[in-house]
A and B are shown apart, each in its own frame.
Chain A
Amino acid sequence: MFRNYTKIAFRNLINQKGYSLINIVGLSISLAVTLLMLLWVQDEWSTDKFHEKSDNIYRMKRTIPLEGNSLDVYNGVPYPVLAAAKTELPEVIQYTPLGRSFEETIQREDLAVRASGTFGNSAYFEIFSYPILTGDVTQLDKKKDAIAISEKLAATLYGTNWKQNAVGQIVHMHDIGDFMVEAIYANFPDNSSIQNEFIYSFEAQLSANDWMLEWTNSGSQGALLLADGADAAKTAQKIEDLFHEHQNKDRKEGILLQKFADHYLYGQFDEQANVTGGRIEYVQTFGIAALLLLIISCINFVNLATARASKRAKEVGVRKTIGASKNSLVTQFLIESGMITFISIGVAIIISKAALPQVNIITGKFLHLNLSEPMMWVGICSIFLLTTLLAGAYPSFVLSRYRPVNVLSGSITRQPGKNILKKGLVVMQFILALLLIVGALVVEKQVQYIKNKNLGIAKENLVMIHQDANITESYDALRNELLKKEGILDVTVVGPSPLNMQSSTSGVRWPGKRPDQENIEFQMVWTASNFLDVFDVPLVSGRYYREGSTYDTTNVVFNERAIEIMGIEDPVGKTVQWWGSPRQIIGVVKDFHNRSLYEKIKPAAFLLDSEDAGWLFVKSADTKVSTALSGLEATFKSVLPNVPLHYEFVDKQYEKFYKSEILTGTLAKYFAVFSIFLSCLGLLGLSTFFAEQKSKEISIRKVLGASTYNLVGFLSKEFLALVGLGLLIGIPISWFILSDWLMTFQYTIDLKVWMFALPAFLAIAIAAMTVGFQTIKAAIANPIMSLRNE
C-alpha cells in the first residue's frame, strides 16, 4: 500500500509541475531559512552550557538600590567579596575572578602577535571546562610571571611542535611584562561567551592593582562554583551579609547569583533585579520569524492543496467506494505532503550549505551544518514532521472527508462558503508579510538613526589605538611626530572611550547631597587637556584643563547632567569631595551620549590624567584619512619600531555597540524579502487555480460582451481584497509590536504613517502584479476553447 501511495504521490508531483514547483520552491526557501535560524538559535542556546559543572557555576552580580525601592544590577563586585565567599561559606567550593578580555601584543623573540586574553587563577580551569593540554596550570597561583596560553596561540608562537617547545618559554607582553608559559589549554569552543587566548597570573594583576583588595571597589568580576544542591538565593543572601559587614552603613548594596550559563542570554533585569530578557529576545525574535516564514509556505501548501482538492475528489470517491477507509486516505495524503517536504528538505540542505558562509559573515558566528551529527538529524526530522503535519494535515482531512456519493455524482466541485479558511489563510499570510516588511524597515531606520545620531561628540575621522606601556612612555614623542604628518589634525589620550564610559564611582559628595542620592554613580573618564578640541565637545561654562598644569590634577570637570543632579548653582569654582579629597569644579561641558542609546545620558566627570587614559586617539582631516593613516603607520615604525600598530575607527567601534540591532536589521531585510516572495508565490498558485476554475464563467462573460479590463477586475478583486484586508489588520499589529521594541531605547525614531503605508502599498502592488499576470492570461484566452471543453 505504501508503494502505491508513494507511486501516486510521485506521479502527481510530475504531472502537476507548476503546483509542485511552487510548493517545493516555497518550502525549500523557508526550510533553508528555518534550518539556518535553528543552527543560529542552537548556537546561541548552547553558549556557555558546555561546562561540565554548568549547573553549579554562578556569576556574582551586585545590586544597587535606587530611588523608589528599585534596583540596578551590575556585573562589577569587590574582589574581597568573591574571596570571602569561598573562605566563609562551605557551600562555595571555588571562586575565580573574571577579567575583561583585552587585546595585547605578545612577543616571542622577533615574532609579535596580537591576541586577546585576561588574568585568572588555576580555579578558572577547575570551574570551567577548558581542558589543559600540557603543563601545570596551578603555577598561575604560585608564580606572578606565569601564563597559560591557548593551543592556537601556542601554535602561532611555537609552530607545530608547540607541545614540546612552548612550556617553560618566556613571552613578552608589551603592556604587562615578561611571563613564562606554564600551561597550554585547548582553544575555547566557539560557543563560549568568553574567548581568551592567554590567561596570565591573577597575582600579577593584583600586585599592580591594589585597589582590587578594597571592599568598596566594585571594579572586579567573578564566578563561583557552588556545591551540589546549594541554594543559590540563600548563598547570595549569606554573601550579601558578609558584604554588608564591610560596607558603609548608608550604602546597602546587594549580591545576586546568576547561573553562568544564563548570563549570556539573560542579561537584562527589571527594577526588582528579576531577569527580564536580554539577548534571548533576539533569539526568540529570529526563531519566531523563521517559524512565520515556514507557516507562510505551509499556508501556500494548504491553500494550493485545498484549491485543487476537486481534482483529487474523483480519486477519493473511487478509493472510498472500493473500500478505502478515511484513515488510509489521511495516510495517503500525508505521505504526499511528506514527499514534497522531503524533497524540499533536501533542497533546503543544499541551499543552507551554500548560504552558510554568508550567514556566518552576517551573524559573526562559526555555524556548521554537520550532517554526521545525530542531533542534526533529530532537528531535521523534527522540522520534517512539523512541516508535513502543518502543510499536510488540513488538506488530508478535507480530502478524506469527501463522500463518494457526492464526488461520483459530480456535486463536489462547487462548495459555496467553504473557502473561508483559504481566504483567512491568505489574509494571515499578508499580515505576517507586512509585519516582517514593516519590521525590517523600522529596524533599519532605527539602526540608521543610531549610526547617524548627533551624539554631541565627534566620532568621525577618528582612530583609536590601545595605549600600552610603550605608547605611554613615548607619548610626547609620538604626538609631536604625528602632528607633523599630513592629514593628522590632533592627537589625544582618553580612557575609557568617551562614547562608552565604562568606569563609574559613587564616591562623589557635594553640599546638600541627600541620602537617597548615596548610590548615584558618576561615569569617569581620564583625559588629556586637548580632549574637547579633538572630540568637538563644547564647554558650557568655566574652562577645561591646561596643558602641563599639575595643579589641575586636583580639579574636576563635570557634564551638565552631573551638575543638574548635584543641583549646584554657578558650579565653576565650587568644591566637591572626590573619594574623600576636595576637588574644585573648573568647568562644565555640554552633555553628549556617553553610553549606548538604550540609556539616558549619565552624569560624568572628566579628569586630567593622560597616563591612566587607556586609548590614543588620532584625528584626521575629513578628506585626508588615508594620508593620515599612512602617516600614523610611518610614525609608529619610526618611534616605536617594536610595537605593532593596531587601530580601529571610532565610528566603526561605536557601531559594535549595536551589533545585535544591526544584525536584526540585516536579517529582517532577508526575512521581509522572503516573506513577500513566498506570499506572492502562494497567490500565484491560487490565482492560477482560480482562473482555471472560473474559465467557463470567464468565457460566458466574454461571449456576453465583457472587456478584458472587466474580466481582470472580476478575477483580481477578490484576491486584492484579501491582501488589502491582511494589510489593514497587519498595520495595527506591527505598530504595536514595533513601538514596544522601540521603547527599549531611550532615543528612538518616531513611527510615521509612511513606514506602514509604503510596505502596504508595495505588498499590494506586488500582489496585483502576481495576480494580474494570471488573470490577464485567463481574460485574453479564446472563450470557445473553454466552452468547447465543457
Chain B
Amino acid sequence: MIRTNKLVKVYHTDEVQTTALNELDLEIKEGEFVSIMGPSGCGKSTLLNVLGMIDSPSSGEYFFQDEEIGHLSERGRSNIRKHNLGFVFQSFNLIDELTVFENVELPMLYTKVPSSDRKARVEELLEDMSIMHRRNHFPQQLSGGQQQRVAVARAIVNHPKLILADEPTGNLDSSNGDDVMRILTKLNDKGTTIVMVTHSQYCAEFGNRIIRMLDGKVVTENLVKQFL
C-alpha cells in the first residue's frame, strides 16, 4: 500500500537546517498495523505527516497504492486524503464549535455523502464507540477518552483504507488508552491498515510490526506477530 524510496524531509529555519527524514525507505502492506517508535525529534511525526499527505517530502518518492504522490497538486492530495485516509491525533483536534455528531459527520460533507446516509453512518459509529448518548454535546463537555473515541469515529467514518494515528493514547489514562487501542486493533482486524506513532512500547505491541527510527532513518524493524 505504501512505499517510500529515499524519502528526505529537511526543515529550514532562519539559520538552522534540520533533516527530519534522511533517505528513508519503507514499505507497508495493506492490512498491516505498523507502530513507529523512536526518541523525540527522530522524525516519526514528520514521517506520519508525509504519509498522510499533509506535508510534502523535500526529495525522494512516496507511492500510495502504487501512485507517486510527489507530483500531485494540493487538490489531488486532498482528494486522496478524504477518500482513503483517516487521522487520529494525540490532542484529539475536534472542532470546538461542532457537536459530537457534527464532528463525526464532517468528513462525509467533504465527500458529499447524502444526508440520510450520513446520519445512519454517524449513529452506527457513535453506538460502536459507546458515545451515542453524548451525540449533542460539544467536545469541551467530554472526557479525554470520550473525545478520542469521537476522533477515532471521525477518522473512520469514510471507511478509509489507511489510518494514521499520532500518539493516540498520549493524552489518555491507561484505561481510556486501552479502549482506544482495542478499537484500533478491531479496525485492523477488519482490514484497515494502521500506521501509529507512539512512545509507548505497550501500545506499540498492539501492532504487527514495530519500526524504530533514529535521526530520520529506520534503524530496526521487529515483527510482533505474523501478519497474514
Q: Are A4 and B106 in contact (CB under 8 A)?
A: yes
A12-B55 contact given A4-B102, A319-B106, A323-B110, CB 8 Å threshold: no
A11-B87 contact given A325-B78, A326-B74, A404-B54, CB 8 Å threshold: no
State how many residues of chain B have any CB contact under 8 Å with chain A: 27
A550 to chain B, nearest CB (A): 94
Find residues 87-115 in chain B having any chain A CB closer than 8 Å to their own CB.
Answer: 87, 89, 93-98, 102, 106-107, 109-111
Residues of A within 8 A of B102 (CB): 4, 7
Find residues 248-290 in chain A having any chain B CB closer than 8 Å to their own CB.
Answer: none
A317-B93 contact given A322-B106, A322-B154, A405-B55, CB 8 Å threshold: yes
Residues of B within 8 A of A11 (CB): 97-98
- Docked complex Cα distance between A190 and B102 (Å): 55
Q: Are B106 and A408 in contact (CB under 8 A)?
A: no
A322-B107 contact given A4-B102, A405-B55, CB 8 Å threshold: yes
Q: Are A323 and B49 in contact (CB under 8 A)?
A: no
Q: Are A409 and B95 in contact (CB under 8 A)?
A: no
The one of A4, A314, A403 that contacts B109, using a Cβ cutoff of 8 Å? A4
Find residues 274-322 in chain A having any chain B CB closer than 8 Å to their own CB.
Answer: 314-315, 317-322
Q: Are B78 and A323 in contact (CB under 8 A)?
A: yes
Q: Are A322 and B74 in contact (CB under 8 A)?
A: no
Residues of B within 8 A of A7 (CB): 97-98, 102
B18 to chain A, nearest CB (A): 13
A322-B98 contact given A405-B49, A405-B55, A409-B45, CB 8 Å threshold: no
Is A8's beta carbon under 8 Å from chain B? yes
Residues of A within 8 A of B94 (CB): 318
Q: Are A321 and B52 in contact (CB under 8 A)?
A: yes
The one of B81, B93, B95, B96 that contacts A323, using a Cβ cutoff of 8 Å? B81
- Docked complex Cα distance between A12 and B97 (Å): 7
Is A75's beta carbon under 8 Å from chain B? no
Is B75's beta carbon under 8 Å from chain A? yes
State how many residues of chain A have any CB contact under 8 Å with chain B: 25
A323-B82 contact given A4-B106, A314-B93, CB 8 Å threshold: yes
- Docked complex Cα distance between A403 and B74 (Å): 11
- Docked complex Cα distance between A314 and B107 (Å): 15
Residues of A within 8 A of B82 (CB): 322-323
Q: Are B110 and A328 in contact (CB under 8 A)?
A: yes
Is A369's beta carbon under 8 Å from chain B? no
- Greatest chain A CB density within 10 A among B45, B94, B106 is at B106
Residues of A within 8 A of B111 (CB): 323
A366 to chain B, nearest CB (A): 47
A565 to chain B, nearest CB (A): 76
The one of A8, A326, A403 that contacts B95, using a Cβ cutoff of 8 Å? A8
0/1 string, B10-38, CB within 8 A of A gives 1:
00000000000000000000000000000
Residue of A nearest to B46 (CB): A405
Is A1's beta carbon under 8 Å from chain B? yes
A318-B97 contact given A4-B102, A323-B82, A325-B75, CB 8 Å threshold: no
Residues of A within 8 A of B74 (CB): 326
Q: Are B87 and A321 in contact (CB under 8 A)?
A: yes
- Docked complex Cα distance between A15 and B139 (Å): 14
A321-B110 contact given A8-B98, A314-B93, A408-B93, CB 8 Å threshold: no
Residue of A nearest to B80 (CB): A323
- Docked complex Cα distance between A4 and B81 (Å): 21
Residues of B within 8 A of A325 (CB): 75, 78
The one of B78, B83, B95 that contacts A318, using a Cβ cutoff of 8 Å? B95
Find residues 41-96 in chain B having any chain A CB closer than 8 Å to their own CB.
Answer: 45, 49, 52, 54-55, 74-75, 78-79, 81-83, 87, 89, 93-96
- Docked complex Cα distance between A124 and B83 (Å): 75
Is A324's beta carbon under 8 Å from chain B? yes
The one of A12, A322, A404 that contacts B110, using a Cβ cutoff of 8 Å? A322
- Docked complex Cα distance between A474 and B62 (Å): 109
- Docked complex Cα distance between A276 and B109 (Å): 58
Q: Are A408 and B109 in contact (CB under 8 A)?
A: no
- Docked complex Cα distance between A74 and B96 (Å): 71
* 12 pairs, A vs B, C-beta closer than 8 Å: A4-B106, A8-B95, A315-B97, A318-B94, A322-B82, A322-B107, A322-B154, A324-B78, A325-B78, A403-B55, A404-B54, A408-B54
B contact residues vs A (CB 8 Å cutoff):
45, 49, 52, 54-55, 74-75, 78-79, 81-83, 87, 89, 93-98, 102, 106-107, 109-111, 154
| 9 nearest A-B residue pairs (beta carbon) | A323-B82, A323-B110, A405-B55, A11-B97, A322-B107, A404-B54, A405-B54, A8-B97, A318-B93
